[in-house]
Amino acid sequence: MSSFFDKQIQNPKLRELAEWLLALLIAVVIFFILRQFLFRTVRIMGISMEPAFYHGERLIVSKVPYWLAAPDYGDVIAFPYKEDPSQKYIKRIIGLSGDEIDFADNQFTVNSVPIEGDPINAFGNVIFPLIVPEGTFFVLGDNRNASKDSRYQEVGCVPQKDIVGKAVLRFWPPGRVGVSNW
């Protein structure tokens, strides 16, 4: 079977090099298309999502789940930090558009139902009760006493358009590789 390069390049070594370069170029283009439209990798920085995720772990977040269904309670999402969009935050959705989030007696409630978790000592600077605005999500870190999340105005409720993706796979470190069951 002859290739395009058989007729264009007479030297077999140059022809093989051209074929390899073309294959590499195609692979790079496919990688960037997949990265742009299907998935991203993020690194956990800090302790705000412990015990689900620890500092230094790496995750794949995918846009595909949100092609099929809207973000939901308990989803772990990545989104850009408003004050430095190059930083990606990882947090858990606890409130959907229209939900009433309240904080009293060191306990969060969503629509008057307490959410699970340890008592919270870090209050943030958002005024409660709060109705989650349309098209946004209220997020918290799992380690709520060490998390900068929707309780703070500089994070706030996360617009759906800003969601980079849903955490679907932890791929680093090797001993903690696993799919989403967080």
Catalytically annotated residues: 48, 91
Q: Measure CA 165 to chain center.
A: 5
Name the DSSP class of 126. -
CA distance 19 to 21: 5
Helix (H), strand (E) at residue 95: strand 84-95
CA distance 69 to 42: 22
Compute the chain's Rg from CA coordinates: 22
Beta bridge partners of 95: 138
Backbone angles phi, psi at 94, to 5 degrees: -120, -10
Beta bridge partners of 107: 104
